[in-house]
Chain A
Amino acid sequence: MNLFRSEEHIECWLAGREPGRTLPVAKLRELAQAWWSDRLDPAWRPHSREQNQKILERLGLTGEFWRLP
């Protein structure tokens, strides 16, 4: 899970491997906020799989690639 300068750099780095999914960094920031912002809250409880899947779906991260186990 890395940051890249451009699509061209991702393609070079993959070197023929099957690509995963690429997001704009602004979307990653939104995802991190939704996923981690409550982690240090003393009232924190573990997220259920369904809660985490909803976070992904709210951000448009749907389909088989983003399906949690």
Chain B
Amino acid sequence: MTDLELRHRTYALFVQLGRAPLPEELGARDEVLAGWSRLHDAHALVLWPSREEIRMLNPFSAVPTAHRVRAGGRWWYGNCAWDAFGICAALGAEGRIESSCPDCGEALAFQSDRPGELLFHCLVPAARWWSDIGFT
């Protein structure tokens, strides 16, 4: 299995299961972990420091975040506001996005195709997005 095939299969299984797949669900554990590690280094996914579990399969987050999306009949988590819309785009489905204003904490909930007048702020310049992708 090439790294690109592994990536496709990882995404497909994530969407099918609604959660990050375990390495043994995709093939021989050691081979999958080695492939994931190469994909992590190529910024194609994000692993936890142990390099044994997926943290981000952008735009999807494997862990709960402040950016929740209901689309395609299931709840998902995005890594950021951009990714919340990205989940709808990737699934080819409009959905409900729930987030909150980081300043005042007020809940923000809307349909992805009717987002209203909210503002998106990108703090980190593009050149540094991957310097600390968790912070970005």
Chain A residues engaging chain B, CB cutoff 8 angstroms:
1-7, 9-10, 12-14, 17, 19-29, 31-33, 35-37, 39-40, 42, 44-46, 56, 64-69
Interface residues on B, range: 35 or more
Contacts of B128 on A, CB cut-off 8 Å?
Answer: 69
Q: Are B120 and A46 in contact (CB under 8 A)?
A: no
Q: Are B121 and A20 in contact (CB under 8 A)?
A: yes
Q: List 17 interface pairs A-B (beta carbons < 8 Å), by A numbering.
A: A1-B83, A3-B81, A5-B103, A5-B106, A5-B108, A10-B103, A13-B103, A20-B124, A25-B118, A29-B112, A36-B90, A39-B58, A39-B86, A45-B4, A66-B125, A67-B125, A67-B126
Chain A residue, CB-CB nearest to B14: A40
A-B contact count (CB 8 A): 150
Chain B residues engaging chain A, CB cutoff 8 angstroms:
4, 8, 11-12, 15, 42, 44, 58-59, 66, 80-92, 99, 101-104, 106, 108, 112-113, 115-128, 130, 136
